[in-house]
Amino acid sequence: MKFSCKNVALIGKHKSPEVAAPLLRLAEFLTARGLHVVVDSLTAEHLKDHPYPAMNLEEMAAMADLAIVIGGDGTMLNIARTFSPHHVPLIGVNQGRLGFLTDLTLENMLESIAAMLDGKFITERRLLLSARVLRGDVEVFSGLAFNEVVVHRSQISSMVEFEVRIDGEYLYNQRADGLIVSTPTGSTAYAMSAGGPILHPGLDVLELVPICPHTLSNRPIVVNGSAVLEILMHRCNDIRVRLDSHTSFDMQLHDKIIVTRHADHAHLLHPVGHSYYHTLREKLQWNQSL
């Protein structure tokens, strides 16, 4: 399978000067193949005397046929939220620690991308979340999440008290440090650390994981991806909702958060032979002998 690709957006890890050398090497490689390269304006601040036009993320998303991210999973989370509504496929080159989303290495970057541009790739759709905060009947906040939507208390406040409904049906009232609503992608992030299950990214489901619930009976629950989740704040003192650690909003008493599957998906491109289970074994060190 081949796709039409003329304009390639390059984005590097934020505030990471060491990204300059591999990014310029990749830019020269793509230009030699006849592609038009644009560089993220923040990344361009680390590049000296380069010939490539610089744009902000929104401008790049509107014109790019492909985005290549050099960084870690955190960088990819931010880029996916901006580029996915424009249906721009993403390739990740890992310069971080884990690399669940950025699966190419700096060493195999050029060889792998050359093969992918020749049509040798696997396309993977990843679910996104849409979150809205209603204050009465007024929407006061909205945003997208790739990993998770988290309602959480600050370090100095008391427990959160909230009510959860699924598709309008009452599920439970909860006292906890917070609640994670995670995509399958996010199941290997905060949700896993809080005791949630690992979900294959191809599943069309959401998971709800309480953070330190004040009960022994409450456990994570997995629901259909089409579910409408409502979280109503019954006790709210210095509480906020956070999307992928990048965007946050301070909550008030009786605010309601509505979380749904977003209409758009993130489209990740992987080399032929990519295996999610291999990634789990490698990143979670399951292949080490006891």
**What is the Cα–Cα distance from 51 to 288, expressed in whole angstroms?**
45
* Tokens standing for residue 199: 């979900």
Q: 40, 73, 103, 255: which is the annotated catalytic residue?
A: 73
Q: Give Cβ neighbours of residue 47 (< 8 Å, ≥ 6 apart).
A: 20, 23, 24, 39
Side-chain half-sphere CA neighbours of 194 within 13 A: 27
* Tokens standing for residue 228: 């409408």
Q: Nearest 5°: phi and psi at 3?
A: -130, 150
Q: Give Cβ neighbours of residue 32 (< 8 Å, ≥ 6 apart).
A: none
Question: Which of 244, 243, 250, 247 lies closest to 140 in space, CA to CA?
Answer: 250
Indicate if 177 belongs to the active site.
no
8 A C-beta contact, residue 275 and residue 124: no
Q: Give Cβ neighbours of residue 256 (< 8 Å, ≥ 6 apart).
A: 133, 134, 230, 231, 232, 233
Residues annotated as part of the active site: 73
